Structure formats: C-alpha cells, structure tokens
C-alpha cells in the first residue's frame, strides 16, 4: 500500500515567484519519494524596486496579488493539503514588505513569511543532497538569487559553515554591489575551503539550471570551470536581444544569466573547484522537505 500526500511551496524571490507542488509517496519500509507534480514561475521582479527605491510599487503589489490568487486556486484544484510561502531579500529590504504581506493575506488568503538569509540557506541546505554528497569529499553549495547568494560548505556529509551575502543578479544588474562585498565573499570562501585538498561546487538557481540545460549534459555529469567560463564569454558577446532571439532565453532570464554566471565562476575560482554539479534544487524543494520532516 502506498500513501500520497500533496505539499506545496511558494518562493517569492527578487527576480520571480514560484509555486512548486509535490507528490510525496509513502511506502512502508521505504524512504519517502518527492515527485514534482507542477512548477509555475511568474516573472515579477520585486528586487528591481526593493533594491533601488526601497519599496514594492502599487503595480507590483497588484500583480503579486493576482499571482497569489492564481497559486491559491492551483493548490485547491491539486488538492494540496499543506503549504508554506516564504519571501526572501526583496521583501526583506522593502520598507513596505510587512504591509504587502497583509495585503496578500487579505486578498489571496495566503500567509507569507519573510525569512532572513540564514534561514533561507538552512532551508536550501536541508534539501535532499545525499545522492550527490560523497562522505569523503568537500563541497561548496552556491544558491544564486536575485538579491542574495547563499554559500554552504559541506564536508564528510555535514554542514561546516553557511553564510548569505547581499550579492544577487538583480543587484548586480543595477550596479549595487561594491567591491568590498566581493572581497568579503572571497575572504569567506577561501577561509572556509583552504583546509581541504579538493572542493567541488554544487550550483542552485534558475540561471545555473538554464546553463546546464544549454550544455546538453546528463544530469549526473558536472560542468567544468573551463566550460562555464567559455559560456560566460559567449553570453557576453551577444546582445540582450540576441540572447532572446538566438538562444531562446526568456526576457527575464536573458539579462540576469550573465551576473549569475559571474558569481558561480568567482566561487569556483576562490574555492579552487574545477567542476560544478547542478542537481536542479532550490528554496521551493527545501521548503517541501523541511515541512515534511518538521524542520520548519
């Protein structure tokens, strides 16, 4: 006999909002299976306003409310029994973030929790990585978002250290990351990886997923530093319009993919990693698993 539970996670990021619906298959004597049933992504770039003017505009609140109403209906028709909605750096930094949470609660009946970078990193790190993490190896897990990037060092299958930095794709596009921040990241990565002979990167986020898809590689194969660096140069050689028309990138992906690739490349360089694995996981996956295992 199997039992199926339906959970959902809503991730309100700086570049987009996502609704992930998961079928959790339970069988006696076996590990639960987490199978993605539906993933909906809405490109509402809250970070553009939050990081530049410090607030979410009326227009964005209206779009966000409509998206949340749609998410609510989708969860209803999928018969989702439990959900959680988390907002990250854009909502953290907008002075009207808490007001927006109240509006969404009143208009869409969805409760949103604004979480800090540390909790965000912990949720992502709780995602099922054991099939990738070899206990005798060291990994630097890098999750690049629109407003922040979370770095987590794993060694012997356990978390050694984790930190969130205010460097993200939307911030970089708006030239809002000073050199001091890059220096802090370099210092942190070097300090936390220098004791290990070899470090491998694990990349998370929509941009590295897109880069991986473009490579045509099998899921369990990594991307090399040389490949990522060459793709970075190639993407930079194209105009924004060419990245849309020739590569088929979405308009809200065609600009952020370049600063995202820069973050991954720097992380590889500073940690000495030669390869990056891309397991297609993120905050939404972490929320579902943390809910299921009662970690949040």
Q: What is the pLDDT, as a whole number, of residue 121?
A: 77
| pLDDT tens sequence across 62-108 | 999 999 999 999 999 999 999 999 999 999 999 999 999 999 999 99
Report whether pLDDT(162) > 80. Answer: yes
Q: Is 126 contained in some domain?
A: no
Residue 32 shares a structural domain with residue 44:
yes
| pLDDT score recorded for residue 131 | 63
Q: Per the domain annotation, does 231 fall within a domain?
A: yes
Q: How far is CA 231 from the centre of its chain?
A: 20
159 and 227 part of one domain = yes
Do 164 and 81 share a structural domain?
no
Pick from 263, 162, 151, 155: nearest CA to 207? 263
> Do 63 and 146 share a structural domain?
no
125 within domain boundaries: no
- Enclosing domain of residue 268: 131-280
Alpha carbons 231 and 41: distance in angstroms, whole number? 25
Domain shared by 151 and 111, yes or no? no
pLDDT at 243 over 90: yes
Q: Is the same domain home to 109 and 139? A: no
Q: Where are the alpha helices (DSSP H) in 20-95?
A: 46-50, 58-77, 89-93
Count up the domains in the chain and report the number: 2
Please check whether residue 205 lies inside any domain of the structure: yes
The pTM for the full model equals 0.89
Backbone angles phi, psi at 91, to 5 degrees: -70, -30
Q: Is residue 77 part of a domain?
A: yes
Q: Are residues 109 and 144 in the same domain?
A: no
pLDDT band for 208, please (50, 70, 90 cuts). very high
Statement to judge: residues 14 and 104 lie in one domain: yes
Asked whether residue 146 falls in the same domain as residue 92, the answer is: no
Same domain, 253 and 150: yes
Residues 158 and 170 in one domain: yes
CATH number, domain containing residue 223: 3.30.420.150
In a domain? residue 124: no
Clarify whether residues 141 and 209 are in a common domain: yes
Residue 68, domain CATH = 3.30.420.40
Bridge partners (DSSP) listed for residue 151: 142, 163
Asked whether 44 and 16 are in contact (CB, 8 A), the reply is: yes
Q: Quick: pLDDT tens for 16-66.
A: 999 999 999 999 989 899 999 999 999 999 999 999 999 999 999 999 999
């Amino acid at each position: 006999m199997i039992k199926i539970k339906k959970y959902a996670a809503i991730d309100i990021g700086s570049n987009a909002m996502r609704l992930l619906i998961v079928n959790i298959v339970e069988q006696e004597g076996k590990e639960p299976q987490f199978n993605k049933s539906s993933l909906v992504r809405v490109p509402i770039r809250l970070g553009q306003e939050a990081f530049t003017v410090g607030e979410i505009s009326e227009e964005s609140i209206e779009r966000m409310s409509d998206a949340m109403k749609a998410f609510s209906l989708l969860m209803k028709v999928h018969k989702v029994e439990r959900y959680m909605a988390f907002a990250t750096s854009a909502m953290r930094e907008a002075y009207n973030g808490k007001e927006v949470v109240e509006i969404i609660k009143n208009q869409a009946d969805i409760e949103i929790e604004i979480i800090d970078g540390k909790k965000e990193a912990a949720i992502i790190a709780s995602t099922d990585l054991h099939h990738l993490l070899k206990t005798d190896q060291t990994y630097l897990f890098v999750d690049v978002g629109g407003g922040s990037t979370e770095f987590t060092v794993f060694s012997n299958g356990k978390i050694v250290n984790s930190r969130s930095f205010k460097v993200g794709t939307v911030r970089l596009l708006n030239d809002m990351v000073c050199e001091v921040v890059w220096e802090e990241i370099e210092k942190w990565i070097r300090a936390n990886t220098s004791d290990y002979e070899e470090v491998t990167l694990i990349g998370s986020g929509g941009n590295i997923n897109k880069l991986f898809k473009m490579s045509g590689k099998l899921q369990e194969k990594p991307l090399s530093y040389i490949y990522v660096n060459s793709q970075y140069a190639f993407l930079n050689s194209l105009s924004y319009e060419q990245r849309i028309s020739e590569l088929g990138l979405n308009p809200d992906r065609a600009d952020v993919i370049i600063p995202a690739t820069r973050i991954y490349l720097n992380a590889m360089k500073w940690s000495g990693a030669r390869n990056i694995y891309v397991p297609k996981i993120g905050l939404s996956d972490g929320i579902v698993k943390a809910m299921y295992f009662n970690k949040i």
